[in-house]
Structure 1
Amino acid sequence: MRETILASLIIITITSCAPTRFVKPLAKKQQAVNLSLGGALISYSKLTIPMPFVTATYGYGIDSTLTGFGALNITSLVYGNAQVELGLTKQLLQQKGVWPGVSVSPVANIIYRNKDASKVYPQVDINAFWDYNNKRNFFYVGISNWFELAGKRVYDQEQEHHWLFNPMIGETFVRNKWNYNIELKVIAPNIANNTSIVDYKTPFGSHGAFGIYIGCTRKF
Protein backbone atom coordinates (compact mmCIF):
# COMPACT_ATOMS: atom_id res chain seq x y z
CA MET A 1 0.00 0.00 0.00
CA ARG A 2 1.51 3.30 -1.05
CA GLU A 3 1.98 5.91 1.66
CA THR A 4 -0.24 8.78 0.51
CA ILE A 5 -1.74 9.79 3.83
CA LEU A 6 -1.64 13.52 4.59
CA ALA A 7 1.92 14.83 4.88
CA SER A 8 1.11 16.47 8.21
CA LEU A 9 0.37 13.06 9.75
CA ILE A 10 4.05 12.16 10.16
CA ILE A 11 4.92 8.95 11.91
CA ILE A 12 5.89 10.55 15.22
CA THR A 13 2.46 12.14 15.48
CA ILE A 14 0.65 8.93 14.58
CA THR A 15 2.52 6.76 17.05
CA SER A 16 2.12 9.33 19.84
CA CYS A 17 -1.67 9.41 19.72
CA ALA A 18 -2.41 7.17 22.67
CA PRO A 19 -1.02 5.27 25.66
CA THR A 20 -1.04 1.50 26.16
CA ARG A 21 -4.62 0.21 26.07
CA PHE A 22 -4.58 -2.75 28.47
CA VAL A 23 -1.40 -3.75 30.28
CA LYS A 24 -3.27 -6.38 32.31
CA PRO A 25 -6.24 -8.35 30.97
CA LEU A 26 -9.70 -7.77 32.38
CA ALA A 27 -11.49 -10.47 34.34
CA LYS A 28 -13.47 -12.99 32.31
CA LYS A 29 -16.60 -11.34 30.79
CA GLN A 30 -15.70 -8.02 32.39
CA GLN A 31 -16.18 -4.93 30.25
CA ALA A 32 -14.44 -1.56 30.40
CA VAL A 33 -14.54 1.82 28.68
CA ASN A 34 -11.58 4.16 28.77
CA LEU A 35 -11.00 7.81 27.90
CA SER A 36 -7.43 9.10 27.58
CA LEU A 37 -5.88 12.49 26.88
CA GLY A 38 -2.35 13.34 25.87
CA GLY A 39 0.35 13.07 23.24
CA ALA A 40 3.80 14.22 22.27
CA LEU A 41 5.09 17.35 23.99
CA ILE A 42 5.23 20.33 21.65
CA SER A 43 5.97 24.05 21.84
CA TYR A 44 2.79 26.11 21.58
CA SER A 45 2.59 29.86 22.18
CA LYS A 46 5.77 29.84 24.33
CA LEU A 47 4.43 26.93 26.39
CA THR A 48 5.26 23.24 26.36
CA ILE A 49 2.07 21.18 26.20
CA PRO A 50 1.12 17.64 25.16
CA MET A 51 -0.75 17.27 21.91
CA PRO A 52 -4.44 17.12 22.92
CA PHE A 53 -5.30 13.73 21.48
CA VAL A 54 -8.48 12.24 22.95
CA THR A 55 -9.11 8.54 22.46
CA ALA A 56 -11.95 6.26 23.55
CA THR A 57 -11.48 2.52 24.09
CA TYR A 58 -13.76 -0.45 24.79
CA GLY A 59 -12.43 -3.73 26.17
CA TYR A 60 -13.96 -7.14 26.91
CA GLY A 61 -12.47 -9.95 28.98
CA ILE A 62 -12.57 -13.02 26.74
CA ASP A 63 -11.08 -15.05 29.58
CA SER A 64 -8.94 -14.29 32.62
CA THR A 65 -5.77 -13.98 30.54
CA LEU A 66 -7.11 -12.55 27.27
CA THR A 67 -8.85 -9.21 26.56
CA GLY A 68 -10.06 -7.91 23.22
CA PHE A 69 -10.36 -4.17 22.58
CA GLY A 70 -11.14 -1.50 20.04
CA ALA A 71 -10.24 2.20 20.17
CA LEU A 72 -11.14 5.37 18.28
CA ASN A 73 -9.05 8.55 18.10
CA ILE A 74 -11.67 11.25 18.59
CA THR A 75 -9.35 14.17 17.82
CA SER A 76 -8.32 12.69 14.48
CA LEU A 77 -11.97 12.06 13.61
CA VAL A 78 -12.82 15.72 14.20
CA TYR A 79 -10.25 16.60 11.51
CA GLY A 80 -11.64 14.08 9.03
CA ASN A 81 -9.27 11.16 9.63
CA ALA A 82 -10.64 7.87 10.95
CA GLN A 83 -8.00 6.28 13.18
CA VAL A 84 -9.05 2.96 14.72
CA GLU A 85 -7.23 0.31 16.74
CA LEU A 86 -8.26 -3.35 17.01
CA GLY A 87 -6.25 -5.58 19.31
CA LEU A 88 -5.81 -8.19 22.02
CA THR A 89 -3.93 -8.26 25.31
CA LYS A 90 -2.64 -11.68 26.37
CA GLN A 91 -1.00 -12.25 29.76
CA LEU A 92 1.97 -14.59 29.29
CA LEU A 93 3.38 -14.72 32.83
CA GLN A 94 2.00 -14.18 36.33
CA GLN A 95 3.92 -12.01 38.79
CA LYS A 96 6.04 -14.04 41.21
CA GLY A 97 7.63 -11.98 43.95
CA VAL A 98 9.99 -9.46 42.38
CA TRP A 99 9.56 -11.08 38.97
CA PRO A 100 6.94 -9.17 36.99
CA GLY A 101 3.89 -10.32 35.14
CA VAL A 102 4.28 -10.05 31.38
CA SER A 103 1.71 -9.32 28.68
CA VAL A 104 1.77 -8.88 24.92
CA SER A 105 -0.69 -6.88 22.80
CA PRO A 106 -0.86 -7.32 19.02
CA VAL A 107 -2.76 -4.41 17.44
CA ALA A 108 -3.89 -3.32 13.97
CA ASN A 109 -3.85 0.47 13.55
CA ILE A 110 -6.13 1.50 10.71
CA ILE A 111 -5.99 5.08 9.41
CA TYR A 112 -8.40 6.20 6.69
CA ARG A 113 -9.27 9.52 5.07
CA ASN A 114 -10.25 8.43 1.58
CA LYS A 115 -9.33 5.70 -0.91
CA ASP A 116 -6.05 7.47 -1.72
CA ALA A 117 -5.12 8.18 1.89
CA SER A 118 -5.24 5.04 4.00
CA LYS A 119 -2.75 3.01 6.00
CA VAL A 120 -2.53 -0.05 8.23
CA TYR A 121 0.24 -0.21 10.83
CA PRO A 122 0.77 -3.52 12.69
CA GLN A 123 1.78 -2.96 16.30
CA VAL A 124 3.03 -5.23 19.08
CA ASP A 125 3.31 -3.97 22.67
CA ILE A 126 5.22 -5.90 25.33
CA ASN A 127 4.80 -4.91 28.98
CA ALA A 128 6.16 -6.05 32.33
CA PHE A 129 4.08 -5.10 35.39
CA TRP A 130 4.26 -5.28 39.17
CA ASP A 131 1.21 -5.28 41.45
CA TYR A 132 1.61 -3.67 44.86
CA ASN A 133 -0.49 -2.30 47.72
CA ASN A 134 -2.58 -5.49 47.80
CA LYS A 135 -3.13 -5.27 44.03
CA ARG A 136 -4.69 -1.84 44.34
CA ASN A 137 -2.06 -0.37 42.04
CA PHE A 138 0.45 -1.58 39.51
CA PHE A 139 3.56 -0.14 37.87
CA TYR A 140 4.67 -1.13 34.38
CA VAL A 141 7.44 -0.71 31.84
CA GLY A 142 7.25 -1.70 28.22
CA ILE A 143 7.91 -1.05 24.59
CA SER A 144 5.44 -0.36 21.82
CA ASN A 145 6.59 -1.54 18.38
CA TRP A 146 5.07 -0.17 15.17
CA PHE A 147 5.88 -1.65 11.77
CA GLU A 148 5.87 0.16 8.43
CA LEU A 149 5.04 -2.29 5.65
CA ALA A 150 5.32 0.06 2.68
CA GLY A 151 8.55 0.17 0.70
CA LYS A 152 7.93 3.73 -0.46
CA ARG A 153 7.08 7.00 1.22
CA VAL A 154 5.17 9.87 -0.34
CA TYR A 155 6.59 11.08 -3.69
CA ASP A 156 8.14 7.62 -4.28
CA GLN A 157 10.90 8.14 -1.72
CA GLU A 158 12.49 5.04 -0.24
CA GLN A 159 11.09 4.05 3.15
CA GLU A 160 14.06 4.17 5.53
CA HIS A 161 12.40 3.06 8.76
CA HIS A 162 10.29 -0.09 9.04
CA TRP A 163 10.52 -0.48 12.84
CA LEU A 164 9.33 2.34 15.08
CA PHE A 165 9.79 1.73 18.80
CA ASN A 166 8.39 3.61 21.78
CA PRO A 167 9.66 2.73 25.30
CA MET A 168 7.25 3.65 28.10
CA ILE A 169 6.61 3.55 31.84
CA GLY A 170 3.31 3.98 33.61
CA GLU A 171 1.30 3.70 36.79
CA THR A 172 -2.30 2.50 37.21
CA PHE A 173 -4.35 3.14 40.34
CA VAL A 174 -6.96 0.40 40.69
CA ARG A 175 -10.35 0.94 42.34
CA ASN A 176 -13.50 -1.19 42.47
CA LYS A 177 -15.14 0.34 39.41
CA TRP A 178 -12.57 2.85 38.20
CA ASN A 179 -8.90 2.77 37.19
CA TYR A 180 -6.74 5.89 36.78
CA ASN A 181 -3.57 5.89 34.72
CA ILE A 182 -0.57 8.04 33.87
CA GLU A 183 2.02 7.08 31.26
CA LEU A 184 5.28 8.57 29.99
CA LYS A 185 6.57 7.53 26.58
CA VAL A 186 9.68 8.07 24.49
CA ILE A 187 8.30 8.27 20.95
CA ALA A 188 10.25 6.98 17.94
CA PRO A 189 13.75 8.06 19.07
CA ASN A 190 15.14 6.58 15.82
CA ILE A 191 13.14 9.01 13.64
CA ALA A 192 14.35 12.55 12.80
CA ASN A 193 11.87 15.28 13.75
CA ASN A 194 13.66 18.30 12.27
CA THR A 195 11.74 18.12 8.99
CA SER A 196 8.40 18.67 10.72
CA ILE A 197 6.51 21.92 11.09
CA VAL A 198 5.78 20.81 14.66
CA ASP A 199 8.31 21.83 17.33
CA TYR A 200 8.62 18.63 19.35
CA LYS A 201 10.10 18.83 22.83
CA THR A 202 12.50 15.96 23.37
CA PRO A 203 15.74 15.22 25.24
CA PHE A 204 17.02 13.61 22.02
CA GLY A 205 17.52 16.84 20.09
CA SER A 206 16.49 16.32 16.48
CA HIS A 207 15.05 12.84 16.98
CA GLY A 208 11.83 11.46 18.40
CA ALA A 209 9.57 13.07 20.96
CA PHE A 210 8.47 12.73 24.58
CA GLY A 211 4.83 12.04 25.44
CA ILE A 212 2.62 12.16 28.51
CA TYR A 213 -0.89 10.71 28.91
CA ILE A 214 -3.59 10.51 31.56
CA GLY A 215 -6.67 8.34 31.45
CA CYS A 216 -9.57 6.87 33.37
CA THR A 217 -11.32 3.54 32.92
CA ARG A 218 -14.82 2.50 34.05
CA LYS A 219 -15.24 -1.24 34.61
CA PHE A 220 -18.59 -3.03 34.65
Structure 2
Amino acid sequence: MENDGEGVSMGKRLAPLIGAVLLLWSAAFMPVKAAEPLDDGLYAVDYELLQGDRDSTSIANDYFEKPALLKVDGDELILQMTLNHSKWVQELQEASGDSFSDVRVVAEDDEADTRVIQLNVSGDLAEPFPLKMHVVIDELEMPYDHSYTVRLAVDESSLKETDQQWVDSIEEGSKIWFFIAVALVVIVAIFVAIRFRRSK
Protein backbone atom coordinates (compact mmCIF):
# COMPACT_ATOMS: atom_id res chain seq x y z
CA MET A 1 0.00 0.00 0.00
CA GLU A 2 2.86 2.35 0.78
CA ASN A 3 4.18 1.92 -2.79
CA ASP A 4 0.77 2.82 -4.22
CA GLY A 5 0.75 6.04 -2.17
CA GLU A 6 4.20 6.99 -3.39
CA GLY A 7 3.14 6.28 -6.98
CA VAL A 8 0.08 8.52 -6.68
CA SER A 9 2.17 11.26 -5.05
CA MET A 10 4.81 10.99 -7.79
CA GLY A 11 2.10 11.15 -10.46
CA LYS A 12 0.67 14.31 -8.92
CA ARG A 13 4.11 15.93 -8.95
CA LEU A 14 4.80 14.93 -12.57
CA ALA A 15 1.39 15.95 -13.95
CA PRO A 16 2.09 19.74 -13.98
CA LEU A 17 5.51 19.15 -15.54
CA ILE A 18 4.07 16.93 -18.29
CA GLY A 19 1.31 19.49 -18.88
CA ALA A 20 3.84 22.30 -19.25
CA VAL A 21 5.93 20.26 -21.71
CA LEU A 22 2.83 19.46 -23.80
CA LEU A 23 1.78 23.13 -23.76
CA LEU A 24 5.22 24.29 -24.95
CA TRP A 25 5.29 21.59 -27.62
CA SER A 26 1.88 22.56 -28.98
CA ALA A 27 2.83 26.27 -28.97
CA ALA A 28 6.00 25.55 -30.92
CA PHE A 29 4.07 23.83 -33.70
CA MET A 30 1.08 26.17 -33.69
CA PRO A 31 0.83 28.11 -36.97
CA VAL A 32 1.91 31.75 -36.62
CA LYS A 33 -0.80 34.22 -37.54
CA ALA A 34 0.31 36.36 -40.49
CA ALA A 35 0.59 40.10 -39.94
CA GLU A 36 -2.40 42.08 -41.10
CA PRO A 37 -1.73 43.81 -44.43
CA LEU A 38 -1.29 47.57 -44.17
CA ASP A 39 -3.98 49.86 -45.49
CA ASP A 40 -3.03 52.02 -48.45
CA GLY A 41 -1.53 55.29 -47.32
CA LEU A 42 1.59 57.03 -46.05
CA TYR A 43 3.37 56.00 -42.85
CA ALA A 44 6.34 57.23 -40.83
CA VAL A 45 8.61 54.40 -39.72
CA ASP A 46 11.86 54.12 -37.78
CA TYR A 47 14.72 52.07 -39.16
CA GLU A 48 18.36 51.23 -38.55
CA LEU A 49 21.29 50.32 -40.75
CA LEU A 50 23.00 47.19 -39.46
CA GLN A 51 26.38 45.78 -40.36
CA GLY A 52 26.34 43.29 -43.19
CA ASP A 53 27.31 40.22 -41.17
CA ARG A 54 25.97 40.99 -37.68
CA ASP A 55 23.16 42.82 -35.88
CA SER A 56 25.40 45.67 -34.70
CA THR A 57 24.57 49.19 -35.84
CA SER A 58 26.61 50.34 -38.83
CA ILE A 59 28.37 53.71 -38.70
CA ALA A 60 26.48 54.46 -41.94
CA ASN A 61 23.31 54.62 -39.85
CA ASP A 62 24.25 58.20 -38.93
CA TYR A 63 24.19 59.24 -42.59
CA PHE A 64 20.40 58.78 -42.78
CA GLU A 65 17.62 60.91 -41.30
CA LYS A 66 14.90 59.22 -39.27
CA PRO A 67 12.10 58.37 -39.66
CA ALA A 68 11.61 57.14 -43.22
CA LEU A 69 8.36 57.41 -45.14
CA LEU A 70 6.61 54.23 -46.26
CA LYS A 71 4.05 54.44 -49.05
CA VAL A 72 1.63 51.52 -49.28
CA ASP A 73 -0.26 51.02 -52.53
CA GLY A 74 -1.82 47.57 -52.63
CA ASP A 75 1.03 45.06 -52.61
CA GLU A 76 3.59 47.75 -53.44
CA LEU A 77 5.73 49.08 -50.57
CA ILE A 78 8.11 51.99 -51.20
CA LEU A 79 10.49 53.50 -48.65
CA GLN A 80 11.63 57.10 -49.01
CA MET A 81 14.71 58.09 -47.01
CA THR A 82 16.94 61.17 -46.70
CA LEU A 83 20.74 61.06 -46.63
CA ASN A 84 22.28 63.86 -44.58
CA HIS A 85 25.86 63.45 -45.89
CA SER A 86 25.06 63.06 -49.54
CA LYS A 87 28.51 63.83 -50.94
CA TRP A 88 30.09 61.12 -48.78
CA VAL A 89 27.84 58.40 -50.21
CA GLN A 90 29.20 58.02 -53.72
CA GLU A 91 27.16 54.92 -54.50
CA LEU A 92 24.08 53.30 -52.99
CA GLN A 93 22.49 50.18 -54.46
CA GLU A 94 19.53 47.95 -53.56
CA ALA A 95 18.99 44.28 -54.35
CA SER A 96 17.45 43.71 -57.78
CA GLY A 97 16.89 40.02 -58.51
CA ASP A 98 20.22 38.26 -58.19
CA SER A 99 22.25 41.47 -58.47
CA PHE A 100 22.17 45.10 -57.29
CA SER A 101 21.11 48.31 -59.00
CA ASP A 102 21.35 52.01 -58.11
CA VAL A 103 18.60 53.30 -55.86
CA ARG A 104 16.26 55.89 -57.31
CA VAL A 105 17.13 59.49 -56.44
CA VAL A 106 14.04 61.71 -56.22
CA ALA A 107 15.55 64.94 -54.89
CA GLU A 108 18.94 66.51 -54.15
CA ASP A 109 20.04 69.66 -52.34
CA ASP A 110 23.74 70.36 -52.84
CA GLU A 111 23.75 73.30 -50.43
CA ALA A 112 22.18 71.25 -47.61
CA ASP A 113 24.20 68.16 -48.67
CA THR A 114 21.09 65.98 -48.68
CA ARG A 115 19.62 63.45 -51.07
CA VAL A 116 16.18 61.80 -51.01
CA ILE A 117 16.10 58.22 -52.27
CA GLN A 118 13.46 55.56 -52.85
CA LEU A 119 13.69 51.84 -52.18
CA ASN A 120 11.27 49.15 -53.33
CA VAL A 121 10.49 46.62 -50.59
CA SER A 122 10.05 43.34 -52.43
CA GLY A 123 10.17 40.95 -49.46
CA ASP A 124 8.92 40.89 -45.88
CA LEU A 125 9.14 44.35 -44.31
CA ALA A 126 10.21 42.75 -41.02
CA GLU A 127 13.28 41.13 -42.60
CA PRO A 128 16.41 43.33 -42.89
CA PHE A 129 17.42 43.72 -46.53
CA PRO A 130 20.85 44.51 -48.01
CA LEU A 131 22.18 47.76 -49.43
CA LYS A 132 25.58 48.22 -51.05
CA MET A 133 27.43 51.44 -50.30
CA HIS A 134 30.56 53.20 -51.47
CA VAL A 135 31.58 55.89 -49.01
CA VAL A 136 34.35 58.43 -49.63
CA ILE A 137 35.31 61.02 -46.99
CA ASP A 138 38.17 63.23 -48.19
CA GLU A 139 37.99 65.63 -45.23
CA LEU A 140 39.65 63.18 -42.85
CA GLU A 141 43.38 63.28 -42.13
CA MET A 142 43.52 59.78 -43.58
CA PRO A 143 40.88 59.80 -46.35
CA TYR A 144 38.22 57.10 -46.01
CA ASP A 145 37.30 55.17 -49.17
CA HIS A 146 35.43 51.92 -48.66
CA SER A 147 32.71 49.83 -50.27
CA TYR A 148 30.63 47.55 -48.05
CA THR A 149 27.21 46.00 -47.53
CA VAL A 150 24.79 47.06 -44.80
CA ARG A 151 21.33 45.74 -43.92
CA LEU A 152 18.33 48.00 -43.52
CA ALA A 153 16.14 46.92 -40.59
CA VAL A 154 12.67 48.48 -40.39
CA ASP A 155 10.97 48.74 -37.00
CA GLU A 156 7.41 47.64 -37.85
CA SER A 157 6.21 48.46 -34.33
CA SER A 158 6.96 52.15 -34.99
CA LEU A 159 4.66 52.42 -38.03
CA LYS A 160 2.18 55.27 -37.77
CA GLU A 161 0.16 57.21 -40.29
CA THR A 162 1.60 60.61 -41.12
CA ASP A 163 0.77 63.79 -42.99
CA GLN A 164 4.41 64.37 -43.93
CA GLN A 165 4.91 65.27 -47.56
CA TRP A 166 5.98 62.56 -50.00
CA VAL A 167 8.72 63.94 -52.26
CA ASP A 168 7.67 63.68 -55.89
CA SER A 169 10.12 62.24 -58.37
CA ILE A 170 12.62 64.51 -60.10
CA GLU A 171 11.92 62.66 -63.32
CA GLU A 172 8.21 63.40 -63.15
CA GLY A 173 8.87 67.05 -62.33
CA SER A 174 11.41 67.33 -65.15
CA LYS A 175 8.90 65.95 -67.64
CA ILE A 176 6.32 68.50 -66.56
CA TRP A 177 8.76 71.38 -66.94
CA PHE A 178 9.89 70.02 -70.29
CA PHE A 179 6.32 70.05 -71.63
CA ILE A 180 5.76 73.53 -70.21
CA ALA A 181 8.93 74.77 -71.92
CA VAL A 182 7.92 73.19 -75.23
CA ALA A 183 4.45 74.75 -74.97
CA LEU A 184 5.97 78.19 -74.32
CA VAL A 185 8.30 77.85 -77.32
CA VAL A 186 5.36 76.88 -79.55
CA ILE A 187 3.28 79.83 -78.29
CA VAL A 188 6.14 82.27 -78.86
CA ALA A 189 6.77 80.83 -82.34
CA ILE A 190 3.07 81.24 -83.27
CA PHE A 191 3.05 84.79 -81.91
CA VAL A 192 6.18 85.72 -83.91
CA ALA A 193 4.74 84.13 -87.08
CA ILE A 194 1.50 86.11 -86.69
CA ARG A 195 3.38 89.39 -86.15
CA PHE A 196 5.63 88.65 -89.12
CA ARG A 197 2.63 88.08 -91.43
CA ARG A 198 0.88 91.23 -90.24
CA SER A 199 4.00 93.29 -90.83
CA LYS A 200 3.91 92.22 -94.49
TM-score over 0.5 for the pair:
no
TM-score by length of 1: 0.28
Question: Which structure shows the higher helix fraction?
Answer: 2
Which of 1 and 2 has greater Rg? 2
TM-score by length of 2: 0.30
